[in-house]
Amino acid sequence: MRTIMQTLLRATIVGLTLAALHQPAQTQGYPSRAVSFVVPYAAGGTTDTMARMLGSKLEKRFGQPFVVENKPGAASSIGATYVAKAAPDGHTVLLATSTTMAINVSIYKKLAYDPTKDLTPVALVAGIPFLLVVNPATPVHSIADLVKLAKEQKGGLPFGSNGHGGAGHLNMAMLNTMTDTEMTQVPYKGLSPALNDTVAGHVKVMFGDFSTAYPLVKAGKLRAIGVSTRQRVAAAPEIPPLNEAGLPGYDVSSWQMVVAPGGTPKEIVAKLNAELRALLSEPDIVADFNKRGIIPLVSGPPEELQAFVKSEVVRWGAVVKKAGAAGVQ
């Protein structure tokens, strides 16, 4: 007669075997339905455009819809929180930014998600460069000119930004630290109104995102001093990196990364990572990114990305603290 212990042992062995078989089958069948591709910003911006390009490619590779859902607000934290709380089965992913993954944790006193625990990096996809621009009437043609003017200006040379703790603020805070200057922030509700006031001469200098600022440079309404990334931007090879233009070591971009809810099976994460890495090397994607001033990035494996995110949290945490923006929200 079979004992209760033997029966339980047999049931346990069968259960473990079925579970082991189920996991690969679940992964092989992924995705089994439409995938929600969450964008934590409003429709029409760079992140939204990129998500729609990637989603279209992923649909063809996986044979299931990748439906872009815009969930903007609170510097991307609303969309990030939504994905962090979603089922960890790979059917909800987020196109996160460096703000989402590395900056918000220092800006917000209470953040509803932990970027290093509640979100799993899948693939790094792109870098968004910034342009350091000045009003053309300003006697600034180089970093040396800017430093000279900033140190001569009583009360600090005013610069435009997209708000306290935003990219325009933190990028300039890093420049202030590296040049021992104290330029004064004039915050706006977005980079576009800040750029408009720089064109009008109400503020003299600022960092603008490349896709918005470069057309104004080409039109002669702004002068570009340099691009924020270490490498030149394919769409504007004539503009030197700040690293080469008097600010050695300066290298800043807003990077974009596909992430999934924490606890998503490693096999699903690896599958998404492999497909994203493959499609990001396709000539039409590379050409489109380059045309828009977006830098295509070759992603490492998910394990490396976890270390990258942690290092970026530390890096930007120091910048946020120096800028006086820690815990302001």
pLDDT at 196 exceeding the cut of 60: yes
pLDDT at 207 exceeding the cut of 80:
yes
The pair of structure tokens assigned to 19 is: 């579970």
pTM given for the model: 0.82
Tell me whether residue 12 is in a domain. Answer: no
Provide mean pLDDT across the span 187-212.
Answer: 92
| Mean pLDDT (whole number) for 216-240 | 96
Q: Rounded CA gap, 176 and 109, in Å?
A: 25
**Domain CATH code at residue 194:** 3.40.190.10
Does one domain contain both 57 and 200?
no
Distance CA 59, CA 259 (A): 17
282: number of Cβ within 10 Å: 12
One domain for residues 119 and 50: yes
pLDDT digits (tens, 9 = 90+) for 142-153: 999 999 999 998
Q: What is the mean pLDDT of residues 106-134?
A: 95
Indicate if the pLDDT at residue 161 is higher than 60: yes
Do 135 and 123 share a domain, yes or no?
Answer: no
Radius of gyration of the chain (CA): 23
Tokens for 189, please give them: 């509700």
Angle at 313 between CA 286 and CA 147, to 5 degrees: 80
In a domain, 2, yes or no: no
In this prediction, residue 24 has a pLDDT band, given cuts at 50, 70 and 90, of low
Tell whether 295 is covered by a domain: yes
- The domain in which residue 57 lies consists of 33-127+253-322
3-state secondary structure 244-288: CCCCCCCCCCEEEEEEEECCCCHHHHHHHHHHHHHHCCCHHHHHH
Of the pLDDT bands very low, low, confident and very high (cuts 50, 70, 90), residue 46 is confident
Q: Is the pLDDT of residue 6 over 60?
A: no
Last residue of a domain, one of 209, 227, 245: 227
Six-digit token pair at 267?
A: 């096999």
pLDDT given for residue 27 in this prediction: 62
Q: Is residue 205 part of a domain?
A: yes
69 & 123 share domain: yes
Same domain as 175, residue 121: no
123 in the same domain as 257: yes
Give me 77's structure tokens: 């934290």
Q: Judge if 219 and 271 occupy the same domain.
A: no
pLDDT band at 26; cut points 50, 70, 90: low
- Do 55 and 123 sit in the same domain of this protein? yes
Q: Is residue 164 part of a domain?
A: yes
The pLDDT of residue 139 is above 70: yes
For residues 193 and 289, what is the distance between their CA atoms, to the nearest angstrom?
A: 25
Residues in CB range of 325: below 8 A, 6 or more apart: 106, 107, 164, 165, 169, 170, 173
- Using CA atoms, how far apart are residues 144 and 124, in angstroms rounded to an integer? 34
Of 32-36, 38-42, 56-60, 190-194, least confident by mean pLDDT is 190-194
What DSSP assignment string belongs to 289-313? HHHTT-EE-----HHHHHHHHHHHH
Q: What is the mean pLDDT of residues 223-242?
A: 95
Cβ neighbours of residue 212 closer than 8 Å, sequence gap 6 or more: 191, 192, 195
The reply to whether 189 falls in a domain is: yes
**Number of folded domains in the chain?**
2
Answer for the pair 272, 55: CB distance below 8 angstroms, yes or no.
no
64 domain residue, yes or no:
yes
Residue carrying structure tokens 């990196």: 241
Label residues 224-259 b or e (16+ Cβ within 10 Å = b). Answer: bbbbbbbebbbbbeebbbbbebbbeebebbbbbbbb
CATH classification at residue 93: 3.40.190.150
Q: Tell me if 24 is assigned to some domain.
A: no
Predicted pLDDT of residue 160: 95
217/275 same-domain check: no
> Which residues, in sequence order, are bridge partners of residue 38?
69, 94
Lowest mean pLDDT among 129-143, 149-163, 194-208: 149-163
Terminus-to-terminus CA distance in the chain, angstroms?
Answer: 68
Give the pLDDT confidence of 66-99 residue by residue, as tens digits.
Answer: 999 999 988 899 999 999 999 999 999 999 999 9
Same domain, 152 and 172: yes
- Same structural domain for residues 120 and 190? no
Give pLDDT tens digits for 250-298: 999 999 999 999 999 999 999 999 999 999 999 999 999 999 899 888 7
Do 294 and 220 have their domain in common? no
Cβ within 8 Å of residue 15, ≥6 positions away: none
